[in-house]
Chains A and B, each alone.
Chain A
Amino acid sequence: MDQQVPIGVTVNGVRHERAVEPRLLLSDFLRHELGLTGTHVGCEHGVCGACTVLLDGDAVRSCLILAVQADGHELVTVEGLAPPGGGDELHPLQAAFREAHGLQCGFCTPGFLMTLVPFLREHPHPSEPEIREALSGHLCRCTGYQGIVAAVRLAAGSAP
């Protein structure tokens, strides 16, 4: 397991070159190699969705992908949503989550956000069943989902 494979990825617009073990999960690479700990890990078997990131614009589960598979690809994590600078300025979807109480403990939230970014791009005016279907690949134990549904509607500018 000492074999190290060189990879290069772009994460939130920044290029990173690293040598990694072939078995290293992308989630662990992002969190522990790059220090991007906003991506959370809840089950490591692809069910809870907390670790979702964008890979070339598509939502993927970073616990089901090896870091070496991300070689040459472009990634976006939750840290890449809000304008840079670390202030309290938020991406419109993040702002909608705050406004509609779409989060409680906030652990699952980054995953939801990363699924919803491409979803709203593809469904700018989603119906409630479409929203719920989109959310159904994620688990949240705190909110009972209602605040999240409301946040998506708010972000999409659809009537509550």
Chain B
Amino acid sequence: MTATGRYMGARVRRNEDARLLTGRALFVDDVHLDGMLHVAFLRSDYAHALLRSVDVAAARRRPGVVAAYTAADLGDYWRPGPLLVPPPPIRGLVFHARTQVPLARDRVRHVGEPIAMVVAESRYVAEDALEDIVVDAEPLPVVVDLEAALAPGAPLVHDDLGSNVAAHAVQRKGDYARARAAAHVVIARRFRYDRGAAAAIENRGIVAQWDPRAEELTLWDTTQAPIPIRNGLARLLGLLESQVRVIAPFVGGGFGPKIMMFYPEEVLLPWAALRLGRPLKWIEDRRENFSATTQERGQIHDAEIAVARDGRILGVRDVFLHDTGAYDPYGLTVPINSQCTLLGPYDVPNYASEFTAVFTNKTIVTPVRGAGRQHGVFVIERLLDFAAKQLGIDRAEIRRRNLLRPDQFPHNHEIIFQDSAPLVYDSGDYAPALERARELIGYDGFVQSEQARLRAAGRHVGLGLVCYVEGTGIGPYEGARVTVEPSGQVRVATGVGTQGQGHFTAFAQIVADVLDVEVDQVHVVTGDTREFHWGTGTFASRGAVVAGSACHAAAVRVREKVLELASGLLGAPPDRLELAGGRVRVRGSSDSAIPLGELALRANPLRGAVRPGTEPGLEATAYFGPDRGSTASGVHAMLVEVDPETAQVEIQRYVVVHDCGRVINPMIVEGQIQGGVAHGIGNAFYEQLVYDEAGQLLNASLMDYLLPTATDVPAVEMAHHETPSPLNPVGVKGVGEAGAIPTGAAFAQAVEDALSDHGVEITEIPLSPNRLFELIEAARSARAR
């Protein structure tokens, strides 16, 4: 049964909004428990140092302090965190797992790494007590720059490894050397893409409570993936999985770093709560967030493209360095995404890609919205721009010529994706989306006349037009339980966490359509392992695809139960019954309709005998695991005006044509895209984590690290192009990250286009007014020479 109905594709307002708007919604820091104590962490001020001693005696003596712990106090509990994503089976792959530790023992490897933990009656007192701790540390030489990290004699982040290489992987398709030899033009460039923060407005937080009577540990955690956290903590603490309940209540933005990291705080609070017998709370502050929450995006690419005279791509070669920070618990997801997403919507017959992941004395790198896909898109789109310029081909046209055709799907790229499966695009129809974006941005008019007219008037306006794909909705699986209650209302429980994606509404729409009830009569609960404890979590743009499909499957089974039960009561076979408006009746008859609620009551007989094998209730649990991810795609186009004197950039228009398969709720999808574009704009022009040579983050506050505001982000004009995915019953593809992925590439092309008379070439993101000013000046002086 495929998903259809009145709610599929409808602009349904959200079920969760009333709670959020009135301040009733529970976030982790809102949890208050009797006897609760507060935790603060002493963190390393050094990026790299030997720890000689950590003395917490004075801290323990401070009134109001209940406990203070160092690594030595942890005993056997001290161990490096789990490797969360083992690397995929790529031939010849080198991978060194070095995962974060709960408290640094004899060495610190990045600023912000926790060294000691204080538990006190209030957070204020706990922070006071951090001042009492005496740390004897010997600073070591620091590895910050990616290339310097690989130079002979570089200081070692993990000295047992003998180098700072965390991983090395080569993936090949076809024969790039032959393609290169046959090329009309080969274009090579070096590209840089620097670090940014996820910067959810809610920082991380944890409340841990051990209930000695119930013998149950409850953890409220700002995690995107409560179930893996539950299972992992049970293992670490020697408890049954069923003794650990992890609740991810409303979470104030995720964007990647709130994944099941087993952050030090996540591991330490439950341990200390068990030990002390009192509930504990730790809420990250913004400064901690800048060093202790994972980050993303540092890569350097040396890439080249071999093209035929007509602009057809013959092959691409890319060798890149990926900054993984001080540890690599998330495996190779980010660089493999970069490697795979570089291929974009294009037919690239020959591809040679090689990366080295590098340890540095910086905060750990794990996926942040886009998760490495940005880098790949940036590299291929920039290479196409340079190729177009050199060949004298229009930039939209060179893209059109290289797009995969509808008859090439499913398309196997013959390399391995982050989910360990071959990179196969399930479906897509790229040319119409490109055409639509051209129309919406007014491409022809702008390129043929408008730009020159503006330039003659002294204005520097440029256009950017780029394509992208996004591998979304990967496995392994998610599940859902759907229950019709005697009130006639429906309850849906699923294991994924939710951070603003509208799951309470989108999942309700799917279920409401199957059971033909009102959407506000469907109550969704997410992220509480007591409600549902099978599944993985919300990441990789997979919630709607995988959990949404599980909700659909469970609702379909409940519908079957409804019809089967009603069939006996109405004396008609199920295929003669109809379910509409929350009631079942014999099709065509006007009487004897039974409400769902009554059926639910009857499905739970309290007296008498039932047939053997009877399952009570109108309830079903179902699971969905796709063979592989579904490939979303799209085109972004933008117009910018640049002031060459001040290097200020104003975005005049931004157009997105996207294909996320079937759209469950266009209002939510548009919100995801608009928000993603805002994140992408930040990434392109405002946001950069600036480390100095000692590994200190120089802009660790929201005063210094600039997130885009309402005056920086334009209204994005959008068009939906639907190519349903054949891989799930709903036909959806993910959309959570899409908006943020091609923005940097579009921005670079547009700014370069605006400054075409200055001869500026942009091969890096993020830019900033300062950096752009430097590039303009450099281009000026180069021309003067």
* Interfacial residues, chain A to chain B (CB-CB below 8 A): 1, 21, 23-24, 31-32, 35-45, 47-48, 50, 77-79, 81-82, 86, 88, 90, 94, 97-99, 101, 103-110, 113, 131-133, 135-149
**B702 and A146 contacting across the interface, CB-CB below 8 Å:** no
A137–B709 alpha-carbon span in the complex (Å)? 8
Given contacts A44-B286, A45-B286, are A136 and B675 in contact (CB under 8 A)?
A: no
In this complex, what residue of A is CB-closest to B668?
A101
Instruction: Check if B17 is an interface residue, CB within 8 A of chain A.
Output: yes
* Residues B704-746 near A (CB distance < 8 A): 707, 709-711, 713, 715-716, 739
Return the contact of B250 from the options A78, A106, A140 (Cβ within 8 A): A106
Pair A101/B675 contact, Cβ less than 8 Å: no
Instruction: For residue B35, give the distance in angstroms from its CB to the closest CB of chain A.
Output: 14
Question: In the complex, which residues of chain B have a beta carbon less than 8 angstroms from the beta carbon of A48?
Answer: 201, 286, 702
| Interchain CB contact under 8 A, A141 and B21 | no
B286:A42 contact, CB within 8 angstroms: yes
Can you name 4 extra interface pairs (CB under 8 A) apart from A90-B22, A94-B21, A141-B678?
A: A38-B23, A43-B701, A107-B252, A109-B20
State in angstroms the CA–CA spacing of A90 and B22 once bound together.
8
Complex contacts, B713 vs chain A, CB 8 Å:
144-146
Interface contact B18-A88, CB-CB below 8 Å? yes
Contact A143 B674 (CB under 8 A): yes
Chain A contacts for B20, CB-based, 8 A: 103, 105-106, 109
Q: What are 23 A-to-B residue pairs whose CB atoms are below 8 Å?
A: A21-B124, A41-B29, A41-B283, A42-B252, A78-B22, A97-B17, A101-B671, A104-B253, A104-B675, A105-B251, A105-B252, A106-B16, A106-B20, A107-B200, A107-B252, A110-B23, A113-B21, A135-B711, A137-B709, A139-B702, A141-B255, A141-B679, A145-B674
B24 is an interface residue with CB less than 8 A from chain A: yes
Could you tell me if B671 and A147 are in contact, using CB atoms closer than 8 angstroms?
Answer: yes
A148 to B17, CA, bound (A): 13
CB of A139 within 8 A of CB of B671, answer no
Nearest to A145 among chain B residues (CB) is B710
Chain A nearest Cβ from B159, distance in angstroms = 37
Cβ contacts under 8 Å, A103 to chain B: 17, 20-21, 500
Asked whether, in the complex, the Cβ of A142 is within 8 Å of the Cβ of B253, the reply is: yes
Q: How far is the CA of A151 from the CA of B18 in the complex (A)?
A: 15
Cα–Cα distance between A142 and B253 once the two chains are bound (Å): 7
| Complex alpha-carbon distance, A43 and B707, angstroms | 12
- Contact call A35/B32, Cβ cutoff below 8 A: yes
Q: Chain A residues near B30 (CB, 8 Å)?
A: 31, 37
Could you say which residues of chain A place their CB within 8 Å of the CB of B677? 144
Interface residues of B toward A: which range? 35 or more
Q: How far is the CB of A14 from chain B (nearest CB, A)?
A: 15
| CB atoms of B500 and A23 under 8 A apart | no
From residue B59, how far is it (CB to closest CB) to chain A in Å?
A: 15
Most buried by B among A39, A94, A133: A94
The answer to whether B203 touches A139 (Cβ under 8 A) is no
Say yes or no: A77 contacts B23, CB within 8 Å: yes
Q: In the bound complex, what is the Cα–Cα distance between A78 and B30 (angstroms)?
A: 14
Q: Are A107 and B201 in contact (CB under 8 A)?
A: yes
Q: Indicate if B444 sits at the interface (CB-CB under 8 A).
A: no
User: A40-B27, A98-B14, A146-B674 are contacts. A139–B709 as well, Cβ < 8 Å?
Assistant: yes
CA A11 to CA B672, docked complex, whole Å: 35
Residues of B within 8 A of A24 (CB): 124
B270 within 8 A of A: no
Q: State whether B18 touches A47 (Cβ < 8 A).
A: no
Is B389 part of the contact surface with A, judged by Cβ < 8 Å?
no
A129 CB to closest chain B CB (Å) equals 8
Nearest CB to that of A79 among chain B residues? Answer: B23
Determine if A141 and B18 form an interchain contact, defined as CB atoms under 8 angstroms apart.
Answer: no
10 smallest beta-carbon distances between A and B, as pairs: A38-B23, A107-B252, A105-B500, A106-B20, A144-B678, A104-B500, A135-B710, A37-B30, A144-B674, A47-B702
Give the residues in chain A near B674, CB-CB below 8 Å.
143-147
The CA of A51 and the CA of B499, in the complex, are separated in Å by 19
Among A43, A94, A105, A131, contact of B22 (Cβ-Cβ < 8 Å):
A94
Closest to B125 in A: A1
Chain A: CB-nearest residue to B289: A43
Closest chain B residue, CB of each to CB of A93: B21
A32 to B33, CA, bound (A): 11
Interface hits, B252-296 → A, CB 8 Å? 252-255, 283, 285-286
| Residue B676 is within 8 A (CB to CB) of chain A in the complex | yes
B17 touches A98 (CB 8 A): yes
Q: Which residues of B are found within 8 Å of A142, using beta-carbon distances?
A: 253, 500, 671, 675
- For the complex, what is the distance from the CA of A108 to the CA of B199, rounded to whole Å? 12
Set of chain A residues within 8 Å of B501, measured between Cβ atoms = 104
Contact check, B675 vs A81: say whether CB atoms are below 8 A apart.
no
Give the distance to chain A from B470, nearest Cβ to Cβ, in Å.
Answer: 17
Judged by a CB distance under 8 angstroms, whether B777 is at the interface is: no
CA distance A147 to B203 in the complex (A): 23
CB of B25 closer than 8 Å to a CB of A: yes
Decide yes or no whether B13 CB sits under 8 A from chain A: yes
Is residue B128 contacting chain A, with contact meaning CB distance below 8 A? yes
Alpha-carbon distance A148/B713, docked complex (angstroms):
12
CA–CA, A47 and B670, complex, Å: 27
Cβ–Cβ contact B710 & A141, under 8 A: no
B472-503 near A? 1/0 per residue, CB < 8 Å: 00000000000000000000000000011110
B151 within 8 A of A: no
Contact of A40 among B17, B202, B676, B710 (CB under 8 A): B202
Is B697 engaged at the interface, CB distance under 8 Å to the other chain?
no
Known: A139-B201, A145-B678. A107 touches B27 (CB 8 A): yes
Question: Is B253 within 8 A of A97, CB to CB?
Answer: no
- B610: interface (CB < 8 Å): no
Interface presence of B609 (CB below 8 A): no
